[in-house]
């Protein structure tokens, strides 16, 4: 009788640890997948903090024209090229490249001599944090495109915040005025001066 009792209990004793082990492994895998698939990683935290500072102190440059006006084009950001360039999908489903008017961010390795300039990656990351995958609104100045065929635009978030200004206000871009696109030249200049005063990023000298 004893051998039979021991034989019946052995599978049960072995089965429970096996289930616990599998549950533990599944939990570990779930945590790993969740961590690496989370877009708000620790690397974006500084950008979020800087942007929140401008928001809470009411230092964002907001459009004084309703975004429903026909001077704006509603698009979806599909890709970030670098700090001052992105790709968007228009209402007709076509994709086009857009270059921010009035600013210039440091180059990254896909351009020039293949090396990142100082704060090039950071400017790109901020641009991604602000607009990637989001609905934004494009505003034209005078010129339509640059020599590379990219649309020249001011870019706005859905709350009316101008992204061009945020990039320069937080010190990730320099002002670059190319006539005739000068509608917001003074505002962008003021943003750069504030970034210099606070010694932010590119202006930390």
Scan for tokens 């010129």, then name that residue.
143
What span, in angstroms and rounded, lies between the C-alpha atoms of 182 and 139?
13
Taking the C-alpha atoms of residue 194 and residue 205, their distance in angstroms, rounded to an integer, is 14
Residues 6+ apart with CB under 8 A from 85: 97, 98, 99, 100, 150
Determine whether 50 is an active site residue: no
d(CA 54, CA 57): 5
Half-sphere exposure of 21 (CA within 13 A, CB side): 5
Task: Report H helices in the chain.
Answer: 2-37, 45-56, 120-131, 163-169, 185-197
Given the residues 50, 122, 128, 150, the one annotated as active site = 150
How many CB atoms lie under 10 A from the CB of residue 140?
16
Helix 120-131 / helix 45-56 crossing angle, nearest 10 deg: 60
Among the listed residues 50, 99, 122, 128, the single catalytic one is 99
Q: Are 192 and 202 in contact (CB under 8 A)?
A: no
Q: Which of 107, 122, 128, 153 is catalytic?
A: 107
Q: Quick check: is 107 catalytic?
A: yes
* Residue 169 annotated among the catalytic residues of the structure: no
Which sequence positions are flagged as catalytic?
A: 99, 107, 150
């Amino acid at each position: 009788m004893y051998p039979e009792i021991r034989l019946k209990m052995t599978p049960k004793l072995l089965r429970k640890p096996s289930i616990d082990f599998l549950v533990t492994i599944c939990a570990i895998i779930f945590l790993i997948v969740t961590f690496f698939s989370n877009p708000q990683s620790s690397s974006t935290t500084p950008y979020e903090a800087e942007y929140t500072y401008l928001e809470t102190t009411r230092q964002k440059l907001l459009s004084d024209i309703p975004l429903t006006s026909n001077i704006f084009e509603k698009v979806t950001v599909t890709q970030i090229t670098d700090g001052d360039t992105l790709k968007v999908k228009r209402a007709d489903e076509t994709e086009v490249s857009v270059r921010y008017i009035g600013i210039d961010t440091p180059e990254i390795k896909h351009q020039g001599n293949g090396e990142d300039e100082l704060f090039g990656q950071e400017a790109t990351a901020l641009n991604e944090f602000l607009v990637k995958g989001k609905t934004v609104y494009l505003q034209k100045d005078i010129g339509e495109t640059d020599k590379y065929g990219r649309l020249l635009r001011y870019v706005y978030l859905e709350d009316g915040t101008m992204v061009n200004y945020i990039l320069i206000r937080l010190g990730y871009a320099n002002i670059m005025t190319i006539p005739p696109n000068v509608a917001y030249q003074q505002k962008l200049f003021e943003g750069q001066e504030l970034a210099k005063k606070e010694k932010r990023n590119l202006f930390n000298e």
